[in-house]
Structure 1
Amino acid sequence: MEFAASVIAVVQLAGKIAEICGRYINEVRYANQDIIRFQQQIKSLEEVLQSLRNLLDDPNCSDLTNTQNLAGAVFQCLSTLEDLKEKIDPESTRSRMRRRLAIGLCSAFGWPLDHHEVAEAIRSIEQYRSCFSLALQIDQMRSLMNEKLCLDRLRIAKGAAFDSYENDKEHTECLPGTRTELLREIEEHWKVNHF
């Protein structure tokens, strides 16, 4: 349960950071591509984490070995995002901005990260996103394979398979009252498309 709560916290934090980036894009006179790329990467991470959250909430997915092993990465991601939020949130950067303004390093309301810092943040975000995506894919594939293996173990009822009547020339018709809903749908479809 603690792992799921951490995933939720990271999803929410990523959403807040994307929102802050949106404010910078709207308010900074010449919002550069760094802010836009940074916001896109945050949103992409948020989408992957939302998929992870959905998988964790799914009662049919109990064997999530790789996903459960991500706990450390999720906590690191949370810490990284908290640091990034602290750096870009105008509320927490006011005093730092005043110091930078005093020595002429930035404008009154400007993006607080330089190009190098943005590139490093994007690299970290991409690594987290790749790690989470890969674990999700492996667990989803394992889940699908387990379902297929379960289906493969089912016994086949003799004579019940589709087209099994071909070997039995005496019983080639459906029993009365069977497949009536399907026949009705076919008939309606034919009427709509041919009249």
Structure 2
Amino acid sequence: MDPLSGAASVIAVVQVAGQVWSLCWKYYSDAKNAKSDIERLMGNVEALQNLFQRVQALAKGPGAAKLVASKELIERTALELEQEFKALRRCLEPSKQQSILKSFGRRLRWPLQKEDVDKIFQLLERHKTTLITAMNCDQMTAVVHLGNNLEES
């Protein structure tokens, strides 16, 4: 993974995650019975967005060349997550009919069932775990290399 393509993937995830979060907020302010599901989804989207922003900072930082183990995994996860966020964004975007009803003061109807939110939550957790594991792998690799260099000295 070259640094530019990896950074582009990470930036795309951050942007799409922000769009999903914004759509959740619109529903949150209108939804009656789905507030806990929306809060949970918003919290997880925000956590992944923050994680990807940190990954982006690492990918652009001086130690980017040392991210050996996680480069490919980060890029693959970013591409998968971007597609999943886009699908979620399409699901959450109000239909034309809902937009018209909203303009007449009607509330938006939350389009997801609790089971759908649970599945999305599990998927987001899996991606978060994958990223954290990849970053930990690179950290362990760096520690081993540092230890080997100290022993050689």
Give the TM-score, by structure 1 length.
0.65
Query: Alignment partner of 1:59: what SS?
Result: coil
Q: What's 1:35 paired with?
A: 38
Deviation at 1:57, TM superposition (A): 0.8
Q: What's 1:112 paired with?
A: 111
- The answer to whether the 8 A contact 1:61-1:143 is kept is no
Task: Tell me, yes or no, if structure 1 residue 15 matches structure 2 residue 14.
Answer: no
Give a deviation string over 1:105-149, Cα, whole Å, max 9, x none: xx8511111112111111111111110111011112322443454
Q: What's 1:132 paired with?
A: 131
| Unaligned ranges ≥5, structure 1 | 102-106, 155-195
Higher relative contact order at CA 8 Å, sep ≥6: structure 1 or structure 2?
Answer: 2
Q: 1:5 aligns with which of 5, 8, 14?
A: 8
Larger gyration radius, structure 1 or structure 2: 1
State the number of aligned residues: 144
Q: 1:73 aligns with which of 74, 77, 90?
A: 77
Deviation at 1:15, TM superposition (A): 1.8
- The CA RMSD over aligned residues, in Å, is 2.2
Specify which structure has the higher proportion of helix: 2
Runs of 4+ aligned structure 1 residues displaced above 4 Å come to: 151-154
| Unaligned ranges ≥5, structure 2 | none
Give the TM-score, by structure 2 length.
0.81
Q: What's 1:173 paired with?
A: none
| Counterpart-to-counterpart distance in 1, 2:15 and 2:142 | 27
